[in-house]
Amino acid sequence: MKCIFRISLFILFISHVLIAEGKQKIIFDCDLAGDVDDAYAVALVLSSPEFEVLGLVMDHGHTPGRAKVACRLLYETGRENIPVIVGRHTPGMVGQDKEPAGPSNQFVWGEGFDKVKPSKENASDFIIRNLRKYPNEVILFTVGPVPNMQDVIMKDPEALKLAKKVVSMFGSFYMGYSGGPIPDAEWNVKADVKSSQMFVNSGANLIFAGLDITTLVHLDEANRNRLLMRQSPLTNALSGLYTLWRFEGYARPNPTLFDVVAVGMVLWPDLFTTRKTHVRVTDEGYTVLDESKEPNCEIGMTINKDEFIKRIMERYLKQNLMQND
């Protein structure tokens, strides 16, 4: 009987290993609890069985506050096995418009939560360690400003090149905010121009989801109500964070899903067209194409917006993430 039990445990262990080996390893670097699209992006990551999440890394601004929100989100959804890494704290006034990088209303959602604590490992060390442990296996997402990427490059200039891909919500190439035909200085770039300049010249396999494919993707009231009525731990978290975000006085009721699109580029490449090009970052935070140089990245050109919304809503509504017993 003991022999049968041990064989069963071994088979169970092997099956879990095989399932894990079939997943895509990712690291997700974000500024959660800033603009609310980060929360929807993390939710899509957690709802996607294709991913083995090595860690959620907080970047830019008040990273300790962001980490508390991340820890609670993982606890509520039973994913507290995923480490939360606190990136470099960049306090004070940032970016060309001198916007504050302090707490947001969404930080209330994480205040006082201590059932899960962030890792004590440095963000750049965590990223470097995993890229070197799994060379050419890890997709690194960056959907916020990139000071953590600068730290990685400064410590280990070859590390980012070991990523299978670095997929970023980054830049504005042919289209600006709200669909205007003139490119803008996109926030993730202009918030830390020096880091952005170093990032685009890193030599990594860079894929950019810029404003051209992100700025027109919105979550309308009907879909937000579907999430509200779903009443799962994950959708309740999204609804709560959305309400706190709106309370900050944002004029637009329909959140733009900038960061979610970057995740979708990996999950559903059939919904996108891309092209390779050379991008440089100006001192003002603009991402300028230079066709006279060899490509240093790949940029998103088009997105099937309606099908994209349909697919992410299916993921949000059909997931059944909950606290572990």
Q: Where are the domains of the chain?
A: 25-318
| Chain segment 72-93, per-residue pLDDT in tens | 999 999 999 999 999 998 865 4
Question: Where do we find the tokens 């918030």?
Answer: 191
Distance CA 87, CA 237 (A): 23
Distance CA 186, CA 184 (A): 6
| pLDDT above 70 as % of the chain | 89
Distance CA 78, CA 116 (A): 11
Q: Is the pTM of this model over 0.85?
A: yes
Query: Quick one: average pLDDT of 140-169?
Result: 98
- Any alpha helices (H) in 90-146, and if so which ranges? 123-133
pLDDT of residue 251: 65
User: Please, which pLDDT band fits residue 324 given cuts at 50, 70 and 90?
Assistant: confident
| Secondary structure (DSSP) of 181-209 | SS----HHHHTTHHHHHHHHTS-S-EEEE
pLDDT at 1 over 50: no
The dotted CATH code for 25-318 is 3.90.245.10
Query: Quick one: average pLDDT of 111-135?
Result: 97
